[in-house]
């Protein structure tokens, strides 16, 4: 069930990115797309009755573990998402310095 919810969250984010005319709302839609994608990737590696992939001593390796590879990929992706969002917000602040508005329609009138 959570895989369906993650894909629909991605589609919501894409709809917001296509139709909104405010720069801050576009950045928020980009973040919603990223969150949906992270939940979907981690749900690929889930195993029923599995435990978290941390080993404390060698004698307990007969347990059933959850797949650790998607978790490593999502860890990298979260940090890159932060870098992208920070740079986009710096651009938005600099645009507001020049045009005094965040809305794309009012910017087109001023051009």
Partner 1 sequence: MKNLIGLLVSLLLGVLIILTLASSPSFPEFGSVDINDRVAGEYLDNDNVEEVGSGNIVTAIVVGYRGFDTLGEVTVLFISALGIALIFSDKKQKRLDLKFKPNFMLKTGSRIVFGIILITSLYIIFHGHLTPGGGFPGGVMIASAILLLYLADDKFRSNIKGFKVLEGVAGSLFVIIGLLGLVIGTYFLENFIPVGSLGELLSAGIIPIIYMLIGLKVGSEISGIVDNFLTEGESA
Partner 2 sequence: MTLFDVITSVIGVLLLVLAFLAINSKSLIKSVLFLSSLSMLAVVSFVIMRAPDVAITEAVIGSGLVTALFVFTLLAAERRETK
Residues lying near partner 2 in the complex (CB under 8 A) are found at 1-2, 4-5, 8-9, 12-13, 15-16, 20, 22, 24-25, 28-29, 31-32, 35, 38-39, 42-43, 46, 50-52, 54, 66, 71, 74-75, 78-79, 82, 85-86, 89, 92-93, 96-97, 100, 102
Show the binding pattern over residues 55-84: x = contacts partner 1 (CB under 8 A), - = does not: xxxx--x--xx-xxx-xx--xx-xxx-xxx
Output the six-digit token pair for 71.
């978790």
Q: Helices 23-44 and 2-19 sit at what angle, rounded to 10 degrees?
A: 160
DSSP letter string, 66-107: ---HHHHHHHHHHHHHHHHHHHHHHHHHHHHHHHS--BHHHH
Q: Does 108 bind partner 1 (CB under 8 A)?
A: no
Choose which of 28, 45, 99, 107 interacts with partner 1 (CB under 8 A).
45
111 three-state secondary structure: coil
Q: Does 14 bind partner 1 (CB under 8 A)?
A: yes
Whether residue 9 contacts residue 38, with contact meaning beta carbons closer than 8 Å, is answered with no
Output the six-digit token pair for 24.
């801050």
Q: Which residues bind partner 1 (CB under 8 A)?
A: 1-4, 7-8, 10-12, 14-15, 18-19, 43-48, 52-58, 61, 64-65, 67-69, 71-72, 75-76, 78-80, 82-84, 86-87, 89-91, 93-94, 97
């Amino acid at each position: 069930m959570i895989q369906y919810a993650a894909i629909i969250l991605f589609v919501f984010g894409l709809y917001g990115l296509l139709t909104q005319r405010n720069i801050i709302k576009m950045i928020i839609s980009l973040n919603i797309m990223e969150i949906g994608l992270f939940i979907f990737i981690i749900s690929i590696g889930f195993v029923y009755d599995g435990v978290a992939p941390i080993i404390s001593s060698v004698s307990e390796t007969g347990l059933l573990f959850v797949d650790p590879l998607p978790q490593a990929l999502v860890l990298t992706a979260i940090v890159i998402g932060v870098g992208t969002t920070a740079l986009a917000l710096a651009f938005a602040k600099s645009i507001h310095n020049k045009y005094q508005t965040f809305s794309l329609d009012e910017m087109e009138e001023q051009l």
